[in-house]
């Protein structure tokens, strides 16, 4: 019995001395509860909306104020003409544009009804559906308020919904870019971290170091196959999206492939960084899967809009690389934009790649000396 108690005591000491195990036991459950409890939300909150008011009368101003003051939307811009609609939707900050027709108030009084157009960004089908439903509900509530007055009992506003980029709200417009983003970072980071950690765990890294190859050449030799295989994955997924889902690349295919190679390089450098802080393959696998899969799914904007989350998660998601690649690939594939609209996200990925490589090379050398 004393031996058993001593063995259990020894195991407890091992656990308490290993901060990685403590983080797995206590840190991850707490993080998941906070993420699922606050970040994962299908409600609309602070969604960007712009207005194109061709009438500028009292009714349009009241309805605009009612939409913005509902708490679900925030005004991003007042547009001047129809040509501004495509421009502002491509920027990504505005999720919908509400257009009031000319002589809106006069038609309400003269004909008893007037029309407004809700133009939503269909590249995110779930968000677009929620925005149009919320806006229509606010308009209907405004109609009820008008109907409550005797003077305007016959007046009614009729909303018309249009979707940009994805008129039929097909779900693969959202899932194909997200799957590319998820697969690339998991394959690149996971496989790279495991292949280098395996050499350390089996004691064969020292054998490689005494060879004529330099450490940098060893690393490049390890990651080069995964770079090529990941690039083939991109081509395969794009081909499937074209032939199976009929989802074409509206923008430059060369720009998309170049951005994909940058993202692959960033993911490989992240995998090397993970290998420097992992002493076993199990640790590398766990960090790569749990540490990258959940943030990619939950905090990248892949499924759940970041705008709906509490503000703290908006700042947390800034360090999640897939957030930027999701924006890049959706803009190129679905919206057909060029580098002018994604240069900021591209620079962020370049900076992350440089930081990951710099830290990895430094820590890798320290560990091997």
Which range of 69-78, 189-198, 208-217, 218-227 scores highest in mean pLDDT? It is: 69-78
Mean pLDDT, the chain, as a whole number?
79
Q: Which residues is 99 bridged to in the sheet?
A: 52, 117
Question: What integer pLDDT is reported at residue 351 of this predicted model?
Answer: 95
Indicate the pLDDT class of residue 27, thresholds 50, 70 and 90.
Answer: low
Q: Which residues is 164 bridged to in the sheet?
A: 121
- Give the DSSP letter string of 73-86: EEEEEE-SSTHHHH
Contact 73, 67 (CB under 8 A): yes
Q: Which residues is 157 bridged to in the sheet?
A: 114
Q: Which fold has domain 47-164?
A: abc type-2 transporter like fold (3.40.1710)
pLDDT in tens, 90-149: 888 888 999 988 888 888 878 778 888 899 988 888 888 888 888 888 888 888 776 555
Cα separation, 146 vs 127, whole angstroms: 29
Domain residue spans of the chain? 47-164, 171-368
Of the candidate ranges 31-40, 116-125, 265-274, 279-288, the one whose mean pLDDT is the lowest = 31-40
Please compute Rg for the chain using Cα positions.
26
Question: What integer pLDDT is reported at residue 7 of this predicted model?
Answer: 45
* Spatial CA neighbour of 305 closest among 127, 53, 139: 127
Question: What integer pLDDT is reported at residue 217 of this predicted model?
Answer: 67
**pTM of the shown model:** 0.76
Question: What integer pLDDT is reported at residue 262 of this predicted model?
Answer: 94
Burial of 65 (0-12, 13-18, 19+ CB in 10 A): exposed
pLDDT in tens, 323-333: 999 999 999 98
The set of residues, in sequence order, having a beta carbon less than 8 Å from that of 33 and lying 6+ positions away, is: none
Helices (H) and strands (E) in the chain, counts: 15, 5
């Amino acid at each position: 019995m004393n031996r058993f108690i001593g063995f259990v005591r020894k195991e407890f000491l091992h656990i308490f001395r290993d901060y990685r195990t403590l983080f797995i036991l206590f840190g991850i459950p707490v993080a998941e509860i906070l993420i699922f409890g606050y970040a994962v939300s299908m409600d609309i909150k602070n969604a960007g909306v712009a207005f194109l008011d061709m009438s500028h009368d009292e009714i349009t101003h009241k309805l605009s104020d009612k939409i913005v003051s509902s708490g679900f939307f925030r005004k991003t811009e007042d547009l001047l003409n129809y040509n501004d609609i495509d421009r502002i939707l491509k920027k990504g900050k505005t999720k919908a544009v509400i257009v009031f027709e000319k002589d809106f108030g006069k038609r309400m009084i003269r004909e008893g009804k007037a029309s407004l157009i809700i133009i939503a960004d269909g590249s995110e089908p779930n968000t677009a559906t929620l925005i149009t439903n919320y806006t229509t509900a606010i308009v209907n509530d405004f109609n009820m308020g008008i109907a409550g007055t005797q003077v305007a009992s016959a007046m009614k506003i009729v909303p018309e919904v249009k979707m940009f980029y994805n008129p039929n709200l097909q779900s693969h417009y959202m899932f194909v870019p997200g799957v590319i983003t998820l697969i690339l970072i998991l394959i690149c980071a996971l496989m790279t971290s495991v292949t280098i950690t395996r050499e350390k765990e089996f004691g064969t890294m020292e054998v490689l170091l005494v060879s004529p190859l330099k450490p940098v050449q060893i690393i490049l030799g390890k990651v080069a196959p995964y770079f090529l295989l990941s690039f083939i994955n991109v081509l395969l997924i794009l081909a499937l999206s074209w032939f199976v889902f009929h989802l074409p690349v509206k923008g430059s295919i060369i720009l998309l492939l170049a951005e994909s190679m940058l993202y692959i390089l960033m993911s490989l450098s992240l995998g090397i960084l993970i290998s420097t802080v992992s002493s076993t393959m199990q640790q590398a696998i766990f960090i790569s899967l749990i540490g990258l899969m959940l943030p990619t799914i939950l905090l990248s904007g892949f499924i759940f809009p970041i705008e709906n989350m509490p503000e703290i998660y908006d700042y947390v998601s800034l360090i999640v690389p897939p957030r930027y690649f999701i924006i890049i690939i959706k803009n190129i594939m679905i919206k057909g934009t060029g580098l002018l609209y994604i240069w900021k996200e591209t620079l962020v990925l370049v900076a992350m790649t440089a930081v990951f490589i710099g830290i990895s090379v430094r820590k890798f050398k320290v560990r091997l000396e």
